[in-house]
Structure 1
Amino acid sequence: MNLSLYTIVLFCLCFFVPTSNAEISIKKCQSNQNNYIIFDEYDANIAEKIIDYKLRDQPEVRENSIIKIFTNENSDDRNDWLASFLFDDQTEQYLFYQVDQDEFIEIDKKQFETLLPKIVECNQNKQTPIYSENFDAD
Structure 2
Amino acid sequence: MKFNQYIFLLFSLFFLMSNSYAEINIKKCKANQGDYIIFDEYDSQIAEKIIDYKLHNQPEKRENSIIKIFANENSDDRNYWLASIQTDNKAEDYLFYQVDQNKFTEVDQQQFQILLPKIVECNQIKEVPIYSENFDAD
Does TM-score exceed 0.5, indicating one fold? Answer: yes
Instruction: Specify the alignment match of 1:28 in structure 2.
Output: 28
- What is the TM-score normalised by the length of structure 2? 0.87
Instruction: Specify the alignment match of 2:5 in structure 1.
Output: none
Separation (CA, whole Å) in 2 of partners of 1:36 and 1:84: 24
Q: Secondary structure at the residue paired with 2:54? A: helix
Report deviation, 1:104: 0.1
Instruction: Specify the alignment match of 1:90 in structure 2.
Output: 90
Report deviation, 1:56: 1.4
Report deviation, 1:57: 2.8
Q: Secondary structure at the residue paired with 1:28? A: coil
Q: State how 1:103-118 maps to structure 2 within 5 Å.
A: 103-118=103-118
Counting matched residue pairs gives 125
Q: For residue 130 of structure 1, what is the amino acid of its counterpart?
A: I
Asked if 1:37 corresponds to 2:37, the answer is yes
Q: Secondary structure at the residue paired with 1:126? A: coil
- What is the TM-score normalised by the length of structure 1? 0.87
- Per residue, is there more helix in 1 or in 2? 2
Separation (CA, whole Å) in 2 of partners of 1:90 and 1:53: 18
Q: For residue 74 of structure 1, what is the amino acid of its counterpart?
A: N
Q: Which runs of 4+ in 1 moved over 4 A?
A: none
Q: For residue 40 of structure 1, what is the amino acid of its counterpart?
A: D
Instruction: Specify the alignment match of 1:73 in structure 2.
Output: 73
Separation (CA, whole Å) in 2 of partners of 1:37 and 1:100: 21
TM-align CA RMSD: 1.4
Report deviation, 1:31: 0.2
Q: Point out where structure 2 has 5 or more consecutive residues left out of the alignment.
A: 1-7
